[in-house]
Chain A
């Protein structure tokens, strides 16, 4: 072991090391470690953000799926309702038409009936008046001959016995 002068190395090593420590600390370690830490933080943040975005995408996808399902269900419902409405409308229209037709038929029947009645009544009148005229004429003609008058009276009396 040959140490030229211990005091020289003790002095210079201490000075140089401390100076180097001070300078590197100020100009190298702080900026470098700071930058490394910042980068690590930013990488972690980016990864976390990516993960969050992925989850959001997943949620969005699920939402979309849900929305689609809902839309489909709604469409189904609307179609069903429309079909029902159609059926109902048709049946209603049918019913109405039938009712109208029935009413008309009824009215027609009533009219016919009343016409018939009035016609029958008129006919009865006519028949009555005609019968009376005929009877009058017959009477007039029959009663113009005595014999016949008597005969008739007999006949009628005969009939009355029967009654």
Chain B
């Protein structure tokens, strides 16, 4: 596993390079609200999604990149800049667009006339995003979507450069492709081939895209300054879609042995009422585990790092900062490992599930 060692070595090196930025990134936030420091708010604002990209605060005023708000309202498609909310998140600033009025309350956009703070408070945290009778469908380019687009562009740039290099250079790879090729070969020889077998070629583009998309998203989430820091892989909707794509590919790749295993397993007929539901539930629990694993690992890492930074402000003393710095440094290096590890695990399990679906038995 020399490849893995080199891989981890490279990550550790990148980690050390990025370290100086980690501490400063959260600082501007502490001045927010003026009085009492609320660690929950700090963590939420970093981990959650938002309609604008917060860059820094300058003498009490937040500097943000306004992202487009795209709404599917009763009057059809409505697009305006998130700057129109003037950083308001309390549901008081009313924005007029396309003959309708909108307010924003804790990043949720409501029709101004149907919004009620009481109703929002009464709704459970889980239910709040689904108050569709009070709000338009929101297809905004949020911070998470922005990060996703950014990562896609980075990947396209990186790999088109590498691909162009291959067209010109028939010799051993160097430069960008020299770095990327071992990782691509790793995905092929350590993930795809052992788990899927001879049919791996068909699934290589999906596995490679998944691996690099998740990995780079994880890394970008760890870089604490604009235009990075978007927490994409720590968003359960993102992991849900990724797991769903794995599920769809698995189901559509399934051969007759796969379906036979689920619908008529090799057990006495009397056990069918138990076994078939278990197998069918198993089809869904596998991608569900994929979804939760990635989301939980990344979110947990971010929360831990932010909590450690938050220690300084909770104790309201700089004396604690050496402890914070040491722990944050440790956690950040660990997170770099986790970033690659979770991308690897997600891709590995996706390959494993696909492999089970296309396996030729008996």
Contacts and interface: CB of A to CB of B under 8 A. Distances in A.
Interface in B196-223: 204-206, 208-209, 212-213
B106 to A, nearest CB: 8
Interface string A20-31: 110111011111
Nearest to B169: A35
Interface in B143-197: 144-145, 148-149, 152, 155-156, 159-160, 162-163, 166-167, 170, 177, 180-181, 184-185, 188
A21 B184 contact: no
A162 interface: no
B249 to A, nearest CB: 11
Contacts of A17: 209, 213, 241-242, 245
A33 B50 contact: no
Given A2-B107, A8-B142, A12-B141, A21 B205 contact: yes
Interface stretch (B26-34, B122-130, B343-351): B122-130
Contact of B166 (A10, A21, A32): A32
Interface in B241-275: 241-242, 245
B236 A3 contact: yes
B85 interface: no
A32 B140 contact: no
B152 A16 contact: yes
A7 B70 CA distance: 11
Given A5-B129, A21-B206, A31 B145 contact: no
Given A2-B44, A11-B139, A19-B152, A31 B167 contact: yes
A23 B156 contact: yes
A140 B149 CA distance: 178
Given A3-B49, A33-B204, A10 B237 contact: yes
A28 B159 CA distance: 6
A13 B159 contact: no
Contacts of B149: 16
B145 A9 contact: yes
Given A7-B138, A12-B145, A32-B184, A20 B235 contact: no
A48 to B, nearest CB: 18
Contacts of B212: 24
A12 B44 CA distance: 22
B142 A4 contact: yes
Contacts of A1: 125-126, 236
A24 B209 contact: yes
B225 interface: no
B126 A25 contact: no
A38 to B, nearest CB: 8
B37 interface: no
Given A2-B48, A24-B155, A32-B163, A9 B141 contact: no
B166 A4 contact: no
B238 interface: yes
A27 to B, nearest CB: 5
A29 B245 contact: no
A32 B156 contact: no
A5 B159 contact: no
Contacts of B50: 4
Contact of B181 (A6, A19, A27, A36): A36
A103 interface: no
A39 interface: yes
Contact of B235 (A3, A28, A32, A36): A3
A7 B155 CA distance: 25
A129 interface: no
A14 B163 CA distance: 25
A27 B241 contact: no
Contacts of B144: 9
Given A7-B137, A16-B148, A32-B162, A2 B49 contact: yes
A148 B50 CA distance: 198
A157 B168 CA distance: 154
Top 5 nearest A-B pairs by Cβ distance? A28-B159, A5-B138, A35-B166, A9-B237, A25-B205
Given A17-B241, A32-B184, 17 more contacts: A2-B49, A5-B129, A5-B137, A8-B139, A8-B140, A9-B145, A9-B235, A9-B241, A12-B139, A12-B141, A16-B152, A17-B209, A21-B205, A32-B159, A32-B163, A32-B180, A35-B166
18 contacts: A4-B49, A4-B142, A6-B237, A8-B140, A11-B139, A13-B148, A16-B152, A17-B213, A20-B209, A23-B156, A25-B209, A27-B159, A29-B209, A30-B205, A31-B166, A32-B177, A35-B167, A36-B185
